[in-house]
Amino acid sequence: MTTAPLVELENISKAFGGVQAVDNVSLTVSPGEVIGLLGHNGAGKSTLIRILSGAHTADSGRILVGGTEATITSPKDAKAIGIETIYQTLALADNLDAVSNLFLGRERRRFGIFNDRRTMVRETTEICAQINPRFTNLQTPVRNLSGGQRQTIAIARAVYFNARVLIMDEPTAALGPGETAMVKDLIQQLKSKGVGIILISHDIEDVFDLADRMVVMAGGRVVGRLNTHEATREQVLSLIIMGAETKPNPAAARP
């Protein structure tokens, strides 16, 4: 891989009260690369991605986007430089429809203050047709939709706004087998378009299926970096559980 990284996190630290949630963590994402971010609850994964998505600000360290330093202090900043996040909760307003959710905070406007509803409906229809042709209930409140349909909206949001880096937090946790397959397929599509993806999942099989590299966190630190094709499940599990490998394999780790 000679392509320059899309995003580089350098020596990021963040403490809450006395707890060091993220401790000197570095991470790079290149175009078309899927990084599996693994670790227990409380390992620091969520805090790390919240820093990248602008929900938290780091105490120290820096974020480089396309080689230049970026200041991300709010979700808006992150979105502006092409970092989209799909939260585990999906962050959808249940009382609004797919169209409104897709454009929430980035509405198409007329005369500066009015919703350009017609354009938004048209564009939502187009983008959803690409992603999940069977999803057509674009104008009913999303609380009535299935998990896969809701996930479609969240992904459509990232695709529509040309995400360069997509953070996905447990994208398959609430889905049935058919819907999981669909989401996996979508991730492959995005990858082939050159989007860099950070995938957080408890399901180690999903990560082995999708990720090019794996980064394992424990206690706020990175305890292992592995190339998927060289890694074994035992290796990864012991990193997650013990915070160390039973059989060290330094050859697999990349800086």
Binding residues for another protein (CB under 8 A):
53-55, 74-76, 79, 85, 87, 89, 91-96, 100-101, 104-107, 109, 113-115, 117, 134, 136-137, 140-141, 143-146
User: DSSP string of 53-68?
Assistant: TTSS--SEEEEEETTE
Shortest reach from residue 165's CB to another protein, in Å: 15
At which residue do the structure tokens 């938290």 appear? 56
Shortest reach from residue 135's CB to another protein, in Å: 9
Shortest reach from residue 199's CB to another protein, in Å: 18
Nearer to another protein, 28 or 152 (CB): 152
Structure tokens at 203: 């399901």
User: What is the distance between the alpha carbons of residues 76 and 176, in angstroms, rounded to a whole number?
Assistant: 32
Nearer to another protein, 38 or 52 (CB): 52
Is the Cβ–Cβ distance between 254 and 233 less than 8 Å? no
Shortest reach from residue 147's CB to another protein, in Å: 13
Q: Is 86 exposed, middle or buried (0-12, 13-18, 19+ CB in 10 A)?
A: buried
Nearer to another protein, 74 or 246 (CB): 74
Nearer to another protein, 57 or 89 (CB): 89
User: DSSP string of 172-231?
Assistant: TTT--HHHHHHHHHHHHHHHHTT-EEEEE-S-HHHHHHH-SEEEEEETTEEEEEEEGGG-
Shortest reach from residue 89's CB to another protein, in Å: 7
Is the Cβ–Cβ distance between 138 and 121 less than 8 Å? yes
Nearer to another protein, 122 or 134 (CB): 134
